[in-house]
Amino acid sequence: MTTPAIALIGAGVRGTAALGRLAARLRSAAGETVLDVHVVDPFPPGSGRIWREDQPASLVMNTVPAQSTVFDDPSLAFDAPFPGPHFAEWCAEVAAGTITGVPEAMRRLARGTAPWGFPSRALYGHYLRWAYGRFRDALPAGVRVHEHRARATGISRVDGRFRVELGAEGAFPADGVLLALGWLPRDPGNGHDLPSENPIDQPVARIAPGERVAVRGVGMGFTDLLGLVTEERGGVYSPDPEAGRRSALRYAPSGREPRLIAGSRSGAPFLAKPAFGRVPPPARLDFLGAAIPELVARRPVDFAREVLPLIERDAAAEYHRALAGLEPSAYAVEPTALLDALDAASATGCAADALPDWRALERALIPDPAKRFDPERVAAPCAASEPDALDAEIAGRIAADAAEAALGSGSPWKRALHVYQAARAAIIPVTDFGGCTEESRPALRRFLEIAGLIGSGPPLFRVEQLLAAHRAGIVRFAGAGFRVEETPRGRVATSRAAPRGRTPVDRVVDAHLGLPDPTRISDPLLDGLLASGLARLWDAGGDAAPALEITADTSALVDAAGAAVPGLHSVGPLHEELRRFTIIAPIPGARSTVLREIDAAVAALLAVAAGSPHAAEEAVRA
């Protein structure tokens, strides 16, 4: 007899969490369950491709362990819970010997991992593989797990079921499929010798010592690349006693480094994560949080007029609470009036147009514009246009931000920007699935761009390494509008910010890890779904990347005719323009959107499997 079957395509963070939700729901179900679960991933299940163990320990996460989990918690209020340790708790249990079977090298890393630190990605991969094993072992006895170390190359409908193709590895039938594809490689292009990719999958070894390398992107991917061509090649970063800052470093080259010329479309570097010295505190979202229910109830909303002012007010309140205590001399008079205006509750439910004009008060009370709160400063264009002056100006901005990050909670600027970072997740129910008016989408994208510069940046020590490498002559900044041109004498790097700067380059690297764009991904599975009509693109318009369209309730794929495809569901980065900010790992205690969308999809898959003719056959046989 044929057994009902479910397929999980992708076994990284989301695929592992899906197996956990599957185990939780099946454990709580009445009666015996008979089910085949197929787990498909060419890499080890749990860590998958991104978090696999064959990567240098120097490549680190930019999320702290206490804010990373694949287990659920009481904030989610699931009827069928599967609690377990978040990453920081797991590290503590490994270090204490409570959790065994972890290699000694990983145990040493776990012992040195603080809940607010930035541990190696390889260590996080061990946590994910351990969690996967917990989930697999918790499945009921009638559930068989089939692990396929292969890549899914196609999905089609055959005789009322899905047929999952594994290329040379064959195929299998399934009643329901969950796609947890994660970050698929983008098409190589734009003349890059090393196209955009996870750093461990870029052939960095091809970069020869002394080569002049143009690098597109100045975020986390760039600092990863820097680590691979400096400390992984024998260079040494050490404290700089002459710098006068606790976290400042100097760099001793090994002689095997290339020379990196870095720039990007905007030219604005990602900001350093603040050194809080503890788990990052929850951001105060007083006005935004109070307004969310009312905003959700009357979607679509005007983001620029109705949402952004609330975020700005919450951020400004945090900024001035800190500044008033740290630097009262910044105010011409006692700042009580400004603080009262920022803290005052609105009688109209915190409607943005009813808020007092705190900006006018700020201008009146703070003579120096540099002391006022202005989030646009994050992405402000540079003033210099000569290459040397531009390079120095960008380095100065990065150094100033690093100094603020070193202050942690003592920095008014970082405390305000912490609000911006947190607001990305808070606005999900307001903005997802077309929750903003078309006219206000540019304002939403601008907010997300600025919030991304704030919240997706590297740890402070990585930024200090960047500054040390810059002082050592390893790195040079080219600014906004960065591009590489072909000339009769070879390739040259230049930028819109410094058009007269033209540097010959030997190699071009794309270190920009942009959001997955289904139209720029060459993947047989994705291509086949779109070609067959089992999936279609959702286009937000403007300069936003298209997304694979899904339903809001269960993340079911939407077919070419606009109908949900029962039993075919998808979660993760391919849908970022529809359901935003689900690209990160689930955060414990925060009613994780990632875990809620996965749970809803798993519930739908189980319903499809339970209603299949094969489930009925099994029930009769039992």
Least confident segment among 352-366, 415-429, 485-499: 352-366
Q: Give the lowest-confidence range in 371-380, 424-433, 563-572.
A: 371-380
Closest among 51, 5, 12, 22 to 601, alpha carbons compared: 22
Length of the chain equals 622
CA 131 to CA 16: how far, in whole Å? 7
The total of structural domains in the chain comes to 3
Distance set, CA 622 to CA 144, 180, 609, 617 (Å): 17, 33, 16, 9
Alpha-carbon span 513 to 222, nearest angstrom:
9
Percentage of the chain lying above the pLDDT 90 cut? 73
The per-residue pLDDT for 240 is 86
Query: Using alpha carbons only, how large is the chain's radius of gyration in Å?
Result: 25
- Give, in order, the Cα–Cα distances in Å from 22 to each of 27, 28, 610: 8, 10, 13
How many CB atoms are closer than 10 A to CB 524? Answer: 13
Residue 269 near residue 398 (C-beta atoms within 8 A): yes
pLDDT of residue 135: 98
Q: Side by side, which strands form the sheet with 259-264?
A: 475-480, 259-264, 212-216, 507-510
Mean pLDDT of 492-505: 92
Peptide bond into 300 cis (omega under 30): yes
Lowest mean pLDDT among 166-170, 261-265, 350-354, 615-619: 615-619
Q: How is residue 333 written in tokens?
A: 């008079």
Distance CA 127, CA 67 (A): 13
Specify the pairing of strand 547-548 against strand 537-538: antiparallel
**Does residue 539 fall inside a structural domain?**
no
Give me 376's structure tokens: 């646009």
Q: Return d(Cα 557, Cα 534) in angstroms, integer.
A: 7
Q: If 0-12 CB within 10 Å is exposed, 13-18 middle and 19+ buried, where does residue 488 land?
A: exposed
- pLDDT of res. 356: 63
- Residue 341 located in a structural domain: yes
Are residue 34 and residue 125 in the same domain, yes or no? Answer: yes
* Confidence grade of residue 247 (pLDDT, cut at 50, 70, 90): low
Q: Where are the beta strands (DSSP E) in 180-287?
A: 212-216, 236-239, 249-252, 259-264
Beta-strand pair 171-174/161-165 = antiparallel
Confidence of residue 513 (pLDDT cuts 50, 70, 90): confident
Rounded-to-integer distance, Cα 343 and Cα 353, Å:
16
Whether 250 and 308 share a structural domain: no
Residue 528 lies in a domain: no
Residue-wise pLDDT tens digits, 56-85: 988 999 899 999 999 999 999 999 999 999
Amino acid symbol at 122: A
- Checking if the pLDDT of 346 tops 70, the result is no
Same domain for 213 and 249 = yes
Sequential DSSP letters for 466-528: HHHHHHTTSEEEEEES-EEEEETTEEEEE-SSSTT--EE-SEEEE---PPP-GGG---HHHHH
Q: Are residues 27 and 165 in the same domain?
A: yes
Query: Residue 503 sits in a domain of what CATH number?
Result: 3.50.50
Reported as a pLDDT band with limits 50, 70 and 90, residue 401 is very high
Q: Tell whether 551 is covered by a domain.
A: no
Distances (CA, A) of 391 to 263, 266, 335, 383, 476: 10, 15, 38, 11, 6
262-312: pLDDT as tens digits: 999 888 888 999 999 999 988 999 999 999 999 999 999 999 999 999 999
Distances, alpha carbon 343 to alpha carbons 286, 292, 333, in Å: 9, 18, 18
Q: 405: burial class by Cβ within 10 Å (0-12, 13-18, 19+)? A: buried
Are residue 76 and residue 173 in the same domain, yes or no? yes
Residues 434, 468: one domain? no
Predicted TM-score (pTM) of the model is 0.93
- Report yes or no on 393 lying in a domain: no
As a whole number, mean pLDDT of residues 336-353 equals 65
Identify whether 175 is part of a domain: yes
Task: Please tell me whether residues 318 and 451 are part of one structural domain.
Answer: yes
Do 12 and 156 lie in one domain? The reply is yes
- The rounded mean pLDDT for the chain is 90
User: What pLDDT, in 10s, does the model give residues 204-226?
Assistant: 999 999 999 999 999 889 999 99
pLDDT of residue 611: 84
Is 86 exposed, middle or buried, given 0-12, 13-18 or 19+ CB atoms closer than 10 A?
buried
Cβ 260 vs Cβ 215: under 8 Å: yes
Does the pLDDT of residue 88 top 80, yes or no? yes
Each residue of 118-168: pLDDT tens digit?
999 999 999 999 999 999 999 999 999 999 999 999 999 999 999 999 999
403, 245 contact by CB (below 8 A):
yes
Amino acid 190: pLDDT: 58
Tokens of 285: 């979202």
What mean pLDDT do residues 88-93 have?
A: 97
| pLDDT(348) > 50 | no
Residues 356 and 234 in one domain: no
Tokens at 12, concatenated: 């990284």
User: Do 42 and 97 have their domain in common?
Assistant: yes
pLDDT of residue 379: 84
Q: For the residues 232-242, what does the mean pLDDT come to?
A: 92
Residue 586 is assigned to a structural domain of this protein: no
Residue 617 pLDDT > 60: no
Q: Has residue 614 got a pLDDT over 50?
A: yes
According to DSSP, residue 188 is labeled P
- Whether residue 231 is found in the same domain as residue 330: no
- pLDDT for 620 equals 34
Q: Which segment of 65-79, 192-206, 418-432 scores lowest on mean pLDDT?
A: 192-206
Calculate the alpha carbon distances from 219 to 104, 212, 234, 270, 526 in Å.
32, 19, 23, 5, 28
Whole-angstrom distance, CA of residue 94 vs CA of residue 595: 25
Residue with the bigger pLDDT between 619 and 327: it is 327
Question: Are 92 and 231 found together in one domain?
Answer: no
In a domain, 465, yes or no: yes
Closest CA to 181 of 153, 139, 200: 153
Domain endpoint, select from 493, 510, 527? 510
Parent domain of 219: 207-273+460-510
